[in-house]
Each structure stands twice: as C-alpha cells, then as structure tokens.
Amino acid sequence: MNLRVISFLVLLCWSSAALGAADGPKSAKPNFIVILSDDQSWVGTSQRMIPGNPETASDYFRTPNIERLAAQGMVFSSGYSPAPFCCPTRRSLQVSQTPARHEYQADREGWPAVYRQQLNIPRMLKAADARYRAAHFGKWDHRYDNVSPADQGYDVSDGLTSNATGTGRDAGDDVLHADPKRVVSVTDRACAFLEQQVQEARPFYLQVSHYAVHLAIQHSAAAMERTKSLKPGKKHNLETFAAMTDDLDAGIGRLMEKVRALGLLENTYIFFLSDNGGRTSLPGSKELGLGLNHPLRGGKAGMYEGGIRVPFIVLGPGVKPGSVSNVPVTGLDFLPTMAELAGYQPALPATIDGGSMTAVLRNAGVGEVRRQSPYLIFHQAYDRVAQSALRAGDFKLVKTWKTGRLELFDLSKDLSEANDLSARMPDKTKELDQVLTAFLTKVKATTVQTKIGKDE
C-alpha cells in the first residue's frame, strides 16, 4: 500500500471518528477553542488557502493535522489577523477592537485602565451563562502594563507569559529537548482542562496560544526525523524551521484527538489562525527566487498581505466539512460570533469592530459578515512604522503616514499587490483615504511613530 493511500485512509478514519463521536457529554451552550500560532505565514502550512493553487501552501512544510482541520471545517482564503504584530493582535482578539482603538491610540498611557474593564470573550460568555469556564495556555504577551489573564476573567492560565517563556531560557537542555517551544506542555495543560470541563459538565472557552513558529527555532528529534524525508522547496527550505512547524502541527493533532475522544466535537467550535503573517527572512534560509510568503507581498510588521493575511480555519456544528469561503474575515470577528452562538442577549458595545461569522459558517461559506463598519481597518504607529490599511470589498488601500504615500490594489486580480492603481483610480483612492482618516481621527489614533518597538 503506497503512502498516498495510507494517508487517505488515516484522514478518512480521523474524520469518520470525529463525526461519529456523539456519545460524549452535551451542554446547553456551545464550547469554543481558539488555536493561535505565532508568526505563521499564510503559506506556512501544507493546506492550500486557495483550492487548486499550489502557490498558496508551503512547498516544503507538512502539516497533516492542519489539513485535517480544513477537511472537517471551513478554510477562509481571506482570513486576517487584527495586526501585523503579536501584542496588538492578542489584545484585539480579546475585545474585538482594531488596535487603532487601543494599542496605537494617542492616549496610550490612559487606555489600559479602560481595557481592563471592557467586554471581552470571557466576560461575555460568563454573562451569557455563568457556568462558562475560560482558560488561556501559552503565550499571553500583553507587554508593558501587566494585564494578566486573571485580570481579564480567565479562570485558569499560564500567567504573564511572553516570547522568552517559549524559548525555554528558564529550563534545562533536557526539558528543551523534550518540549521544544513548549508545544508538549501547553498541549498537556489544554487537554487536562478539557477533561475537567467534561467531568464538571461545564461549557468552556479555551485559547491555546502557541510559541511556535516564532524564533528562536527549536524542534524535537522526532520532528527532524520526519522532516529529513521531505524535499526542500524554492520558497521554503530551512530544515530546522520545517521541523518546528511539524512539532506545532503534532501538538494541534494531539489537542484535536483529545477533543474527539471526549466527544466534544458535536458541540464545539474551533478557530485556528496565526497572530500575524510570516517573517520575510529566516537565519539560514536560502533565497531561491521566491519570498517566504510568496505569492503575498511583504510579511510580519507591514500592512501588505504578507503581514496580515494568515491561515484561518473554523470548524464546528453547522460548518460544512471541506468548505472554502472567500468572505474577508478577521480575528476581531471571534467575540461577536461567539456571542451569537452562546446566546448573549445585550447589544454589543458600539466600539466593537468585528461582526458575527455565524451566517457565513452555516451557509457553506457564502454571505457576509455584518460589522458596524463595512471596512476592515488595520493600523500601527507609536512604536512602529506608522502605516495603515483598509480593505473594502476587493479593493485595498495602504497608507504610509511619514511620506503620505497611498497605494491602491485590487486583490481579486492582484493577490501579490504588484500593481498600484492609485494613479489610475484617484477618486477611489481619495474616497478610501477619507474613510480611513475619518475613522482614525474618531478613535484618536496617533499616526506618528515616537518610539522604537521591540521584536514581537
């Protein structure tokens, strides 16, 4: 029996078992799991983000468990992180707000007090049903103001973790070898939390925020052994990074197996995405004519697609297995989606920027996400290069504030953002610039870089 047939049978058994695992405990309210990877490119997995287009997957990395997520659920080809950096994305996921409202607000010293009190995912779910329990394991990284998961309503967490926690600087070599990037231990704690919630018959929210595939590179011996059989590509060819990606995928597979074994799939929604796009360079990677995020332009830290478009998969009750949606979505949509699914009754605050994905999830990926604004807005400044982006339908505007440069792209025809349409479509460019400027003015976001930020 050849490898392709074996892989197909494994996938068939995995999917069949998952769909048949209906004997587990049920609760009146749905459960939610968010799996967040770190610095993982839109093309950083073996799952094609656009069916039929091999360029929209890695030409080297193998992630069979992420492929299985896609086979069970819906791939969003236009899925976005809230920001091209780690910390603002992680805050934004909690409160469904673009970083322009908080991380890059003019009153940066004052807003953390507000952030501590805002409606977020744990508070919202507990208001919908007091039985909900919330857990966060892995990289929290809220940076400078020491807002902890406990402060934000989490019942269980790893505390104030950061990139340094994931490097293992506080552990010996033996621990690092057995638990590179903390994938094993983070997954262990997540699985134990799931078991406890099943025992107590409680609905839950679980966020598993992996340290992989952020630098520094770490991997297990088993992952390296599996990687040695793969042929490096022109886009991706760094063996150690491929092994680290393999370890991350294995952790996701372990978590999903626990979900299946506990009979939770029938009533659990699972969201997978990266905190931002992939890096544009890696130490030791060979440049063979294709960028690491090809066919996307740019990468982490920038507002081109390579910095904010990320792998994005959702599965759960009513989500058509193996489906693909072209509807633009963002991590900001998680809170409103969960609010609708959990039966949260009050109106969401006017400062919420996301919208519920429920109608799209239940309609095989067709429809729209209704937000308070029809645009997706991305922004950074203060301690980053001041830059913004706005997506309106297929059009995308990128603005660099220091020079005032405006670029306009039609993503339906120009995924690589190679053709700037601003000179040919001045009215459209002006229209979107006015919308962007009006929004940033309204939320009092600074458009000037005054400090130099650290790597995230």
CA dihedral 230, 236, 237, 243 (to 10 degrees): -60
What residues are paired with 32 via a beta bridge? 205, 269
Please give the helix or strand (H or E) that residue 398 lies within, else none. Answer: strand 395-400
Question: CA 181 to CA 246: how far, in whole Å?
Answer: 12
Residue 4 has pLDDT above 70, yes or no: no
Confidence of residue 12 (pLDDT cuts 50, 70, 90): very low
Instruction: Write out the residue limits of the CATH 3.40.720.10 domain(s) in the chain.
Output: 3-374
Say if residue 238's pLDDT is above 70: yes
- CATH 3.30.1120.10 maps onto the chain at 377-442
Confidence of residue 144 (pLDDT cuts 50, 70, 90): confident
Question: What average pLDDT does range 240-256 have in this prediction?
Answer: 98
**Alpha-carbon distances of 13 from 48, 251, 383, rounded to whole Å:** 22, 19, 49
pLDDT above 60: residue 2:
no
Residue 5 has pLDDT above 70, yes or no: no
Q: What is the mean pLDDT of residues 120-137?
A: 98
Is it the case that residue 7 has pLDDT exceeding 50? no
Tell me the pLDDT tens digit for each residue of 399-453.
999 999 999 999 999 999 999 999 999 999 999 999 999 999 999 999 999 988 8
Q: Both tokens of residue 90?
A: 């992680």
26 pLDDT tier (thresholds 50, 70, 90): very low
Cα 328 from chain centroid (whole Å): 14
CATH fold, domain 377-442, is Arylsulfatase, C-terminal domain (3.30.1120)
pLDDT value of position 18: 42
pLDDT at 214: 97
User: Mean pLDDT, the chain, as a whole number?
Assistant: 93
Q: Residue 454 has what pLDDT?
A: 75
Share of the chain above pLDDT 90, in %: 88
Asked if residue 189 has pLDDT above 60, the reply is: yes
CA–CA gap between residue 282 and residue 285 (Å, rounded): 5
- Residue pLDDT, tens place only, 69-117: 999 999 999 999 999 999 999 999 999 999 999 999 999 888 889 999 9
3-class SS of residue 338 = helix
pLDDT beyond 50 at 125? yes
Query: Which residue would you say has higher pLDDT here, 173 or 251?
Result: 251
- Which pTM was predicted? 0.93
- Inform me whether the pLDDT recorded for 149 exceeds 80: yes
Report the pLDDT averaged over residues 154-179: 83
Q: What CATH architecture applies to the domain 3-374?
A: 3-Layer(aba) Sandwich (3.40)
List phi, psi (to 5°) of 109.
-75, -25
pLDDT at 28: 81
**What is residue 167's predicted lDDT score, i.e. its pLDDT?**
86
